[in-house]
Structure 1
Amino acid sequence: MDLYVLFAVLAVTLIAGLPVGVALGLASLAYVSLAGLPDAVVLHRMVGGVDSFPLLAVPFFILAGHLMNTGGITERIFGFARALIGWLPGGLGYVNVGASVMFAGMSGAAVADAGGLGSVEIRAMRQAGYDTDFAVGVTASSSTIGPIIPPSLPLIVYGVMASASIGELFVAGLLPGMLMALALMTMVAWYSHKRGYPRDGALALPHVSQSFMRAFLPLLTPAIIIGGIMTGAFTPTEAAVAAVIWTLILGMFVYRSLTWRHLVRVLFDTVETTASILLIVAASSIFAWILISNQIAAHLASGLLGISSDPMFVMLAILVIVLVLGLFMETVAAITILVPVLLPVATQAGIDPVHLGIVVVLALMIGLLTPPVGLVLYVLAGVSGVSFERCVKATVPFLIPLLVVLIMVAFIPQLSLWLPQQLYR
């Protein structure tokens, strides 16, 4: 009976439009009260849920992304990508994807990519005569590469919830992220051929060299983050601090594009974003504790494995669950709710936790492009001035290559596990 109340309160509060963190907290509090447990249990579990050293990386990576967008670093990255591959037919579509790959190695968040690079990319594509639907679709889909290629905020949260190595998760995302970029570029090539999109000028090596020099220092950021983690120079959390320091040096002292006024606004934005994420993590920790204590994961595991213990079947079931939940929930909330339930099932079926993490995050990235939540679509609707409904329609074709990559990564484990096995095991 208490569990029915838990899910009923959660459903009602979400339908009422309350933030996910608040909804999870209220549902958990209702359960605890009915179960006769002290209300202090909620606070204790919530504090314990965010009392984690790896989670310190979250605000620092968010801050680094905001600093890059505010300091004009994203425009330097876009300029270099444009000079490098803009000469291809439909060049700005390739540039859009390529710039997202570069920015992915710095921010770790799809929304940061969509809100920062998105405004630059859509404006440039419109001015060059590209259809608005194509510009919005490729911008939305390419932004999902950000949380797959390291660093990644969702993978940090997953690593904390699953007690998995964040370093291994970061490395595991490299190849799937590149596959996403290749699949989206294939889609761009098809659109460019069908619609006769132009080249963005001829290839000019002096221009490539000049734009590379302008973007050289920002492009060192992924090398600092990934190289430092892989060599053991610092942990993922320390890498986030290093990224912030490096970005501050670039913005305030090298390019001088960041003022103290900018910095204050960026800090406030970072605090707001971080608070919303950590509230979800904290509330989800008590919610997950309730599910675990009631053996929901064990019941799901026995149910699925009772049908078939074949890893392929279990992975297919997990994909369906994650894709459906991704339609309705924000990424961090979905991870914190799903991991305690799905991880025991996957482990019993012989699925590696690192592999599961990449699959779950990639599936939830697709959820960012689908209504009714579709957070990236809401961001791009504001950036581009296009209605949310039109953004949805423009993005639908680009879901095809992303789903193909998701299926490949889910059912070919070595695509995500080969690099971690070479470097960590």
Structure 2
Amino acid sequence: MTSSAQAIPASEPLIVAESDEVRAGSRFLKPVEIVASALLVAIVTLLLAGVTSRYVFSLPVVWIDEVASICFLWLAMLGSAIALDRNEHLRLTLFLHRMPEQVQGFMEAFALLVIAIFLLCLMVPAFDYALEEWYITSPALNIPNTFRVAAIPFGMVAMLGIVVAYALKSSSWRDLAVAALLIIAIAGALWFFSPSLVKLGSAKILLFLVVFVAACLAAGVPIAFCFGIGTLSYLAFATQVPTFVMIGRMDEGMSGIILLSVPIFVLLGCILDATGMGKAIVDFLASLLGHVRAGMSYVLLGSLFVVSGISGSKVSDMATVAPALFPEMKRRGHSPREMIALLATGAAMADTVPPSIVLIVLGSVAGVSIAGLFTSGFVVAMVLLAVLAILARWKSRRESMEGVRRAPASLIGRTLLVAAPALVLPFLIRSTVAGGVATATEVSTIAVIYALFVGIVLYGGIGWRKLYGMLVETAALTGSILLILGTALAMAWAITQAGVAQGLASIMTGLPGGWISFMAVTIVVFMILGCVLEGLPAIVLMAPLMFPIAKTLGINDVHYSMVIVTAMNIGLMTPPIGIGFYLACNIGNVSPDEAIGAIWPYLVALIIGLVIIATVPWISTAFL
């Protein structure tokens, strides 16, 4: 959802789920949640059947990918509606919560109306797009593509109903009326000046896709809808291109076959949390390294490194590691602010460790080998791990080691035995994808089944109610991710069609210093975008523009990928805007004001590591 009945603290930039009593469409959404959960189960089952038929029986079933693709788009749109109802769409609240309370109420009403107008304006084009696809049939099943793309108008209708219900419940009539008048006035002015805007040239991109998007971000509109309303306004008032085209671009952004692994890795992260597999890994590393100076810092960084190879999610990584390690670190004299700084920057380091959802999305958008990204990401993460470990060692020179003893071999062996089934999983994922044995989608499916089996048999099991909750949560998170990808790709397409890419390429290739200057600009750009937009939107928006330039300058695409992902993650953890920093503070229950001063040395260490990675291509490409 886009707003809440109570103000969300500035330290909670992710929209938090509300109780059923205040959710706008909880009763209506129950059947949608059930269907979305069933679709997710169907996708996992279909992909598992495909893997089994291909590798066990050497009999590929060609229609499985088509059915999975149909289920996937429906899952994305239903998940977007669930995420809207559960307040789980990503937005920037830093500026919103610094406004007076009365202004906040108006901004919330404004944000809701912006979403409603975006959905309402695209409703007819979405239905038209679905009807047009009736004449296109799938190659294997030979059925109209309408069965797949009908998910887009259906999801928009569901989201519109939720937004309207929530606006009527949470906003005052006065705020809604004033916000509506403001939007009508802006739309009227744009319509009046539309003939001039069409002739304005590339400068109009600045108005619609920078100023409009930035204003909506500051007002608390979720990022996906910021991109959407900016692109829609640009097409409607500044071009002759029909808005119908935007639906096609959104469909393209949400339908990549590689993206099928996203919900499965999200589900894998949920299983990791629910079964305690991550905690088993943390306990083993603590028994192995906990007795040395800075040992608990090493354990925290090592746990983030290993656990990220299972979950693929920064949130899951931090939520698994922090509660298990923070009490002992406090006992040894680590200050809470230092622990948060290490947690946040360690999570930034770990996002290049496969299976990273960011790497999967980047590979899909930029056409880069997922196997290459997984191989390179592991090595790059080792470099970042080393610089953080060196800093942690220096910081620990006053650490209290009183009463700390080396764990007996029996304890190490016992924790290893418990952790072994979980430790197998990240290495299985990395080696299988990097070795070209199976795709990321196939491996993610096997990993989910393996984790479920191991979790049920060895780690205490998962109840049906908890499993259902995990499926719904996965659907919601998948929907919020894919809606961002769809609108961001539409926006990137609009920027490219306006000729910005050519102008940007001309400027970038003409920089003094060649590829090194381009790398420096890239680092600055993606650190800023990482602060403001979070990872996935920044990648989808900028990758189509930047990768062709990098290729022109002779930069390896995997090397360039590692640089932009690392820079983006550093920006994500950089206060005062970086979303990941506040998320780490929330997980560690530490005030951002307290932690903000401690994180800078760790960010400098990451930047040093990034400079090494950017200037030494061998690190990223040696093992490809």
Question: Under TM normalisation by the shorter chain, which class is it?
Answer: over 0.9
What is residue 514 of structure 2 aligned with on the other side?
310
Asked if residue 39 in structure 1 is aligned to residue 243 in structure 2, the reply is yes
- The letter of the residue matching 2:352 is I
* Residue 6 of structure 1, aligned match among 209, 218, 222: 209
Gaps of 5+ in 1: 421-425
Rg larger for: 2
Distance 1:296 1:274, change over 3 A: same
Q: Deviation digits for residues 270-302 of structure 1, max 9, x if unmatched?
A: 112111111110001100101111121211110
Is the Cα–Cα contact under 8 Å of residues 329 and 373 in structure 1 kept in the other structure?
no
- The letter of the residue matching 1:5 is F
* Residue 178 of structure 1, aligned match among 382, 385, 389: 382
Give the Cα–Cα distance (whole angstroms) in 2 for the partners of residues 179 and 384 of structure 1. Answer: 26
What is residue 221 of structure 1 aligned with on the other side?
425
What is residue 486 of structure 2 aligned with on the other side?
282
Distance 1:77 1:198, change over 3 A: farther
Asked if residue 143 in structure 1 is aligned to residue 347 in structure 2, the reply is yes
Distance 1:252 1:203, change over 3 A: closer
- The letter of the residue matching 2:221 is L
Give the Cα–Cα distance (whole angstroms) in 2 for the partners of residues 384 and 215 of structure 1. Answer: 24
Asked if residue 86 in structure 1 is aligned to residue 290 in structure 2, the reply is yes
Secondary structure of the 2:368 match is: coil
What is residue 299 of structure 1 aligned with on the other side?
503
The structure showing larger relative contact order (alpha-carbon pairs under 8 Å, at least 6 residues apart) is 1
RMSD of aligned Cα (Å)? 1.6
Distance 1:353 1:132, change over 3 A: same
What is residue 220 of structure 2 aligned with on the other side?
17
Q: Which stretch has the larger CA shift, 230-239 or 398-407?
A: 230-239
Give the Cα–Cα distance (whole angstroms) in 1 for the partners of residues 449 and 404 of structure 2. Answer: 35
* Residue 154 of structure 1, aligned match among 358, 370, 385: 358
Is the Cα–Cα contact under 8 Å of residues 384 and 609 in structure 2 kept in the other structure?
yes
Number of equivalent positions:
420
Distance 1:26 1:407, change over 3 A: same
Is the Cα–Cα contact under 8 Å of residues 511 and 518 in structure 2 kept in the other structure?
no
- The letter of the residue matching 1:36 is Q
Distance 1:200 1:46, change over 3 A: farther
Give the Cα–Cα distance (whole angstroms) in 1 for the partners of residues 394 and 233 of structure 2. Answer: 53
* Residue 132 of structure 1, aligned match among 321, 332, 336: 336
Distance 1:187 1:200, change over 3 A: farther
Identity %: 29
Give the Cα–Cα distance (whole angstroms) in 1 for the partners of residues 252 and 402 of structure 2. Answer: 55
Q: Deviation digits for residues 182-210 of structure 1, max 9, x if unmatched?
A: 11111111011144555742142222111
Give the Cα–Cα distance (whole angstroms) in 2 for the partners of residues 113 and 401 of structure 1. Answer: 21
* Residue 372 of structure 2, aligned match among 159, 168, 173: 168
Give the Cα–Cα distance (whole angstroms) in 1 for the partners of residues 419 and 361 of structure 2. Answer: 30
Is the Cα–Cα contact under 8 Å of residues 527 and 569 in structure 2 kept in the other structure?
no
Distance 1:200 1:100, change over 3 A: farther
Asked if residue 406 in structure 1 is aligned to residue 573 in structure 2, the reply is no
Asked if residue 356 in structure 1 is aligned to residue 555 in structure 2, the reply is no
- The letter of the residue matching 2:421 is L
What is residue 436 of structure 2 aligned with on the other side?
232
Is the Cα–Cα contact under 8 Å of residues 161 and 340 in structure 1 kept in the other structure?
yes
Deviation for aligned residue 1:231:
3.4
Question: How does the TM-score come out when normalised to structure 1?
Answer: 0.95
- The letter of the residue matching 1:78 is V
Question: How does the TM-score come out when normalised to structure 2?
Answer: 0.65
Give the Cα–Cα distance (whole angstroms) in 2 for the partners of residues 262 and 271 of structure 1. Answer: 14
Secondary structure of the 1:328 match is: helix
Is the Cα–Cα contact under 8 Å of residues 368 and 374 in structure 1 kept in the other structure?
yes
What is residue 423 of structure 1 aligned with on the other side?
none
Asked if residue 382 in structure 1 is aligned to residue 557 in structure 2, the reply is no
What is residue 314 of structure 2 aligned with on the other side?
110
Give the Cα–Cα distance (whole angstroms) in 1 for the partners of residues 436 and 575 of structure 2. Answer: 41
Is the Cα–Cα contact under 8 Å of residues 64 and 244 in structure 1 kept in the other structure?
yes
- The letter of the residue matching 2:393 is A
Secondary structure of the 1:256 match is: coil
Give the Cα–Cα distance (whole angstroms) in 2 for the partners of residues 365 and 70 of structure 1. Answer: 26
Give the Cα–Cα distance (whole angstroms) in 2 for the partners of residues 333 and 323 of structure 1. Answer: 13
Distance 1:194 1:15, change over 3 A: same
Q: Deviation digits for residues 34-83 of structure 1, max 9, x if unmatched?
A: 21322221111101111111111111111111110121111101100101
- The letter of the residue matching 1:51 is S
Is the Cα–Cα contact under 8 Å of residues 107 and 146 in structure 1 kept in the other structure?
no
Q: Which stretch has the larger CA shift, 148-157 or 114-123?
A: 114-123
What is residue 207 of structure 1 aligned with on the other side?
411
Is the Cα–Cα contact under 8 Å of residues 277 and 459 in structure 2 kept in the other structure?
no
Give the Cα–Cα distance (whole angstroms) in 2 for the partners of residues 393 and 268 of structure 1. Answer: 38
Give the Cα–Cα distance (whole angstroms) in 1 for the partners of residues 390 and 525 of structure 2. Answer: 28
